[in-house]
Amino acid sequence: MSHDNEDNKLRYRRTQSVTRAEEITDKESKQRKSQPDKPCHRPRDSLFSWSSGFDNFTGLVNWGFLLLTMGGFRLVLENFIKYGIRVDPVQWFVVLTGKNEGEGHPSLLLIFYTIVPIMICLIVEKGLAADILMESAGMIVHVVNIVVLVLIPMVVIHVKGETFSLVGAMTVCFIYCIMFLKMWSYVQVNMWCRTKHKKRRNRSGRRQSVSIAQLQNEREHEQIRSNGNGVIPNNDKDNVPTLVHYPDNLHLKDFFYFLLAPTLCYELNFPRTSRVRKRFLIKRMLEVVIGVHIVMGLFQQWMIPSVRNSLVPFSNMDLTKTAERLLKLAIPNHLMWLCFFYLTFHSFLNLMGELLHFSDRNFYSDWWNANNIDTFWRTWNMPVHKWCVRHLYIPVVDLGYSKMAASVIVFFISAFFHEYLVSVPLKTFKIWAFMGMMAQIPLSVVSKHMEKNYGPRWGNIVVWASIILGQPLAIMMYYHDYMITNYNDVLV
């Protein structure tokens, strides 16, 4: 018995001798302070320890920013010394205005042609709403109309590619992709409304009596059809507009508003602002003008020489020089991508939203804090994310497919359009962009593994690494294939 007590005391003394700061009790701390030796030590952890609770690293952030600025300034000087000043605003004007295109400006003709599928879509919707067309026949026409819309740039640019400028072809493909997504949403939302409208009409059956309120409501709906302004007048003191109901939304003004609005998801009643903020509008306009010049300047001065210099090492499969070219191209490409993100998702979309009184400005979320790839794709491009969830992911799950299968289908469609936007303008049909998007699925597993086992910081590092290195690698591959396809004789 006495032996056990001695073991307990020894274990107790051994526990108290541990040097970890959190093991020292408050009682011992008070006793130490009462000693005449004037103690200056207290239990605390080093600042770089996770247990310290210290999180103010502002000085280190400033140091890193200054170091990056100095390194970037050195690269700028090196670029100017090696290549001289390559920035040429006159050439920007020629490229952006399409003056280097062939006769007739085929890019503008293709953009104007989008009115044809728009009118076909609206006419079919009116026919379905009036029960002139059968549902199956109307859906067949819609599917053919939307698919042909995507195929037109592929065929025309392939056949008449020499008359298109690169910027013009890219603009056409981008607009046609946006039209495809918007028309898909328009058709699907009207189908939802039409189904519910018919169910309500079938439940009500034959009306036995008509009330005064119903007659007034019918007169208001008749007025909206004649006015075509998409808003039913309200004579209340608050002047709150009454919601538009199906099929009163089926008119050109409503459709064109949706086509111009900074969203891909159609609604019968969009949230609206009451006025245009002039100061906010001027800021966004200046940002668009200045941002375009910055992006064009970076591309002309920094990107083009780096991409050209990567051709020979990439062709010879010199891994060391290719890696050096990749890292050198990563910096200007990433700066351009960040400028393009701000220019598109903040400046331009807010500009359009302000002009159109569109009040939902959730164009992006805090993607820079994404701890895995899935979170990044859900937050960096909110219009596309909302469209994918609303019109693709949820309908596929409702059909009985698993969430994993729905996610793969979403990435597949996204990969197709990424490839479409690159291969069609370049007339170089490869699969690098497609494979890059499909590679996001296994990369998502890796980033989640890093987040789970090593903390969210490492998951965020994986996200940033994929953004910084993935894009310049794809650019080098497409430039190599484009030059080999079109200028192989000159290179040899």
Q: Tell me the three state secondary structure of residue 272.
A: strand
pLDDT digits (tens, 9 = 90+) for 383-423: 999 999 999 999 999 888 888 899 889 989 998 998 888 88
In this predicted structure, what is the pLDDT of residue 330?
80
Is residue 41 annotated as part of the catalytic site, yes or no?
A: no
397 touches 406 (CB < 8 A): yes
Taking the C-alpha atoms of residue 153 and residue 159, their distance in angstroms, rounded to an integer, is 10
Which residues are CB-contacts of 194 (< 8 A; sequence separation ≥ 6)?
Answer: 128, 129, 246, 247
Measured from the Cβ of residue 382, the count of other Cβ atoms closer than 10 Å reads 20
- pTM for the model stands at 0.76
Asked whether residue 374 is assigned to any structural domain, the reply reads no
Measured from the Cβ of residue 321, the count of other Cβ atoms closer than 10 Å reads 15
Asked whether residue 170 is assigned to any structural domain, the reply reads yes
Asked whether residue 146 is assigned to any structural domain, the reply reads yes
Asked whether residue 365 is assigned to any structural domain, the reply reads no
Asked whether residue 177 is assigned to any structural domain, the reply reads yes
Omega before residue 241 within 30° of 0, cis: no
The overall average pLDDT reported for the chain is 79
Asked whether residue 375 is assigned to any structural domain, the reply reads no
Task: List b or e across 326-361, with b for residues whose CB sees 16 or more CB atoms inside 10 angstroms.
Answer: bebbbbbbbbbeebeeebebbbbbbbebbebebebb
pLDDT digits (tens, 9 = 90+) for 346-370: 999 999 999 999 988 999 988 988 8
In this predicted structure, what is the pLDDT of residue 228?
47
pLDDT digits (tens, 9 = 90+) for 419-443: 888 888 888 777 888 888 888 888 8
194 touches 142 (CB < 8 A): no
- Residue span of the structural domain in which 171 resides: 107-200+215-270
In this predicted structure, what is the pLDDT of residue 10?
44
Question: Band of the pLDDT at 2, cuts 50, 70, 90?
Answer: very low
User: What's the Cα-to-Cα distance from 403 to each of 160, 372, 379, 394, 417, rounded to whole Å?
Assistant: 42, 18, 19, 9, 21
Taking the C-alpha atoms of residue 125 and residue 48, their distance in angstroms, rounded to an integer, is 64
- What are the start-end ranges of the E strands in 63-218? none
Q: How many helices (H) and strands (E) does the chain have?
A: 22, 0
414 touches 388 (CB < 8 A): yes
Instruction: Of 87-91, 115-119, 157-161, 415-419, give the lowest mean pLDDT range.
Output: 87-91
Domain count, the chain: 1
* Burial (0-12, 13-18, 19+ Cβ within 10 Å), 481: middle
Asked whether residue 303 is assigned to any structural domain, the reply reads no
Taking the C-alpha atoms of residue 268 and residue 373, their distance in angstroms, rounded to an integer, is 33
Query: Which residues face 242 on adjacent strands?
Result: 232
User: What's the Cα-to-Cα distance from 374 to each of 97, 345, 356, 442, 462, rounded to whole Å?
Assistant: 38, 19, 32, 11, 12
Asked whether residue 132 is assigned to any structural domain, the reply reads yes
In this predicted structure, what is the pLDDT of residue 490?
41
Catalytic-labelled residue, pool 105, 391, 418, 480: 418
In this predicted structure, what is the pLDDT of residue 492?
42
415 touches 437 (CB < 8 A): yes
What average pLDDT does this structure show over 286-293? Answer: 88
